[in-house]
Structure 1
Amino acid sequence: MQEIVQSQPEPGKTRTAEILDVLRDEILEARLVPGEKLRFDELRETYDIGISPLREALMHLASEGLVTTEQRKGYRVAPVSGTDLREIAFLRGEFDAMAIRHSIANGDELWEGRVLAAFHAMQRRKKIGPDGDVDREWERHHIRFHSELVSECRMPKLLSFRTILDLQAQRYRRIAAAHYLNAPRDDVIEHMELRDAVLNRDADLAGQLVRAHYSRTVDIILAGEIAVDPADPAD
């Protein structure tokens, strides 16, 4: 297990919620690497956490697809692969295209205003932060923009599924950060075209654009010099 840099928990959270947030961040940042075995004793010592909240947190992470379970072998950080990444992108594109179509049918002027505000907030930040990594505020606004596009679909189960897929996609982007950030791409134009298609109530075009947007991310990540099919590590 790599050295872990602990995040500060938010006040008022339960111990399970605290450890869940911390472990999720460690996995998304790849400080807990794909395929790494998550040993209870080490985690309990590192985070000064009891068995019950730790087990609950790991079970929740498994439901998000960030952790895998093996009978009698415990938990591991979920592995990564090109096949998995393509499936995530395909499902994100299909779910978002469907949700955008329903949001266009249901959304009013207030929804349009939220889409515009989210786009404006995202464009005020630079994608690459001063440390050369993904700027976390840009990423937060980026997630908010895509979330607002689908926010009026009125299908809570679909929105729950896409949230899980978005977490999994974030991990790939961060693992491949160096190539993802430096590849030639005009994010502004891609998001602007998607914004305009939605505001013009063109569901067919918006669906095409969001599918292409996610597919482009996959192409960039897989074109980089990154090992996305690591061998299964030894215990």
Structure 2
Amino acid sequence: MNAQVATSSARTLARRAYHWLRRDIVHGQLAAGSKLKLEALVQHYEIGMSPLREALARLVGDQLVKTEDQRGFWVAPLSLDELDDISRVRDLIETEALRLSIERGGVEWENRLRAVFEALSEVEKDVTELAPQLPQQTLDEWEERNHAFHYTLISACESPWLIKLQELLYHQAERYRRVSLSVSHGKRFVHDEHQAIFEAAIERNALRACRLTHDHLMRTYDEVRKAVAAMDPA
């Protein structure tokens, strides 16, 4: 029993370390391309070396961390080529998953979708520009509710792989989106886009919902790409 408890505790620590590290990488607190010094991370997150290494191994699988043989770990770099690829594949995955979700989702899915859209609307109805001048708490709250909305839209697709891939690509895209905020100044009525997607999904109009989602993702991609391209290469 003690061995089982110890194993469960180690897995919990590794899971927490994974979420902490992923959050800090996506939010840019661990800079792209920077070396991850294990001893410093152990102290910063107050965890042991074993759960830290397990968390880093998971992040390597998520393509957020890179490793080379025994030379250590680095935060994955950012590049326009990668952004192009992430955006293209995410569009393919998310629109297909949404089509299946609209086809297969029941009343419970509709209720969850209404709830997350209402929560998202509370944050973004007065936000036309996601930019650094907004309080960090507002940006974080919007990101969390935006993620919940996009996840719930596809959650009834009955394909664990589509859901897993969408989650992976969402966080990759979020990383670029957050970085781009430092130079992005364009205004955009994101709430109107989300509302149109929500209404089409509730009406079970899969063709319209998928087209609106494609347009929504591509508008975001275009803005992020322009912002990232304008940044100092350093």
Task: Name the TM-score class by shorter chain.
Answer: 0.7 to 0.9
Contact 2:35-2:73 within 8 A present in 1 as well:
yes
- Offset of residue 225 of structure 1: 5.9
Cα deviation code 1:138-173 (max 9, x no counterpart): 221111111111111000111011111111111111
Q: Distance in 1 between matches of 2:162 and 2:230?
A: 31
Contact 1:19-1:57 within 8 A present in 2 as well:
yes
Match of 2:157 in 1: 153
Contact 2:42-2:49 within 8 A present in 1 as well:
yes
- Offset of residue 38 of structure 1: 0.9
Residue 211 (structure 2) pairs with residue 208 (structure 1): yes
Match of 1:28 in 2: 26
Residue 135 (structure 2) pairs with residue 131 (structure 1): yes
Q: Give the count of matched residue pairs.
A: 220
| AA partner of residue 171 (structure 2) | L
Q: Give the gaps of 5 or more residues in structure 1.
A: 1-11
Q: Which has the higher helix share?
A: 2
Q: Distance in 1 between matches of 2:122 and 2:13?
A: 35
- Offset of residue 115 of structure 1: 1.6
Contact 2:59-2:65 within 8 A present in 1 as well:
yes
Q: Distance in 2 between matches of 1:57 and 1:228?
A: 30
Partner SS for 1:68: strand
| AA partner of residue 14 (structure 1) | T
TM-score if structure 2 supplies the norm length? 0.84
User: Mapping of 1:22-171 within 5 angstroms?
Assistant: 22-126=20-124, 127=127, 130-131=134-135, 135-171=139-175
Q: Give the gaps of 5 or more residues in structure 2.
A: 1-9
**In 2 relative to 1, CA 80–229 (structure 1 residues): closer, same or farther, beyond 3 Å?**
farther
Partner SS for 1:35: coil
Match of 1:193 in 2: 196
Single out whichever of 12-21 and 191-200 deviates more from structure 2. 12-21
Q: Distance in 2 between matches of 1:228 and 1:65?
A: 22
Partner SS for 2:158: coil
Q: Distance in 2 between matches of 1:97 and 1:89?
A: 12
Cα deviation code 1:21-55 (max 9, x no counterpart): 22112211211110111122332343343221111
- Offset of residue 228 of structure 1: 6.5
| AA partner of residue 107 (structure 1) | G
> How large is the RMSD of aligned CA atoms in angstroms?
2.4
- Offset of residue 102 of structure 1: 0.8
Contact 2:183-2:231 within 8 A present in 1 as well:
no
Q: Distance in 1 between matches of 2:229 and 2:19?
A: 26
Give runs of ≥4 in structure 1 deviating > 4 Å.
127-130, 225-231
TM-score if structure 1 supplies the norm length? 0.84
Identity among equivalent positions (%) equals 35
Contact 2:183-2:230 within 8 A present in 1 as well:
no
